[in-house]
Amino acid sequence: MGGRFWQRLKNLIKDDEEIFEPRRRDPRVVARVLMVCMGNICRSPTAEAVFMHRAARAGLAPYLEIDSCGTHAGHSGEPPDRRSQQAAAQRGYSMEGLRARRLEVEDLDYFDYILVMDEDNLQRVLSRCSRPEQKAKVRLLLDFAPELGEREVPDPYYGGRSGFDRVLNLIEAGTDGLIAVIRERHGL
């Protein structure tokens, strides 16, 4: 959640400025992961919740920082879509407290892994990168699940219940692959 989280909280609660100083980077954190979709109300908060849950179950929570955002600001401040929350809850994932936000330029430097749900949003994120090292961090989430033979997590917003279940299946596979890569790359 980094410094941006504390800044947002500080902006919401201005009564006691001194207790809301930005958190210093935890030296135990070896990887900061950002999940990205268009509006940050369906796919990316689902990916955040799934990754957080599975990473905690794998004993990696102290070593990771996870967040999500959208390439557009149309839903900023809103909780995840009710249908996403219901589908996630049925599999034991909590989206409580998550709120939509827009991708910020600072995110491109702060996060180590910037994982996008589809090609359109991948291009939007890459277009905001000003340096090669930023671009090198940006990938599709399903790059971590090549066995699926799919590259994109489709947007379930305009579909039925089965679309949200399919999104969860894809995200679970992608996050499991990501966890394996992080374990190997960072010796965890």
Instruction: For tokens 């090549």, name the residue.
Output: 146
User: Is 129 an annotated catalytic residue?
Assistant: no
Residue type, 37: C
Instruction: For tokens 């965890």, name the residue.
Output: 188
Q: Is 106 exposed, middle or buried (0-12, 13-18, 19+ CB in 10 A)?
A: exposed
Backbone conformation region of residue 93, classed left if phi is above 0, alpha if psi is from -120 to 50, else beta: beta
Say which of 37, 42, 69, 118 is annotated catalytic. Answer: 37
What distance lies between CA 30 and its chain's CA centroid?
A: 16
Say which of 32, 43, 54, 101 is annotated catalytic. Answer: 43
Say which of 67, 81, 118, 155 is annotated catalytic. Answer: 155
Residue 162 has which token pair? 């089965």
Q: In whole angstroms, what is the distance from residue 76 CA to residue 133 CA?
A: 27
User: Is 69 an annotated catalytic residue?
Assistant: no
User: Is 109 an annotated catalytic residue?
Assistant: no
User: What is the set of active-site residues?
Assistant: 37, 43, 155
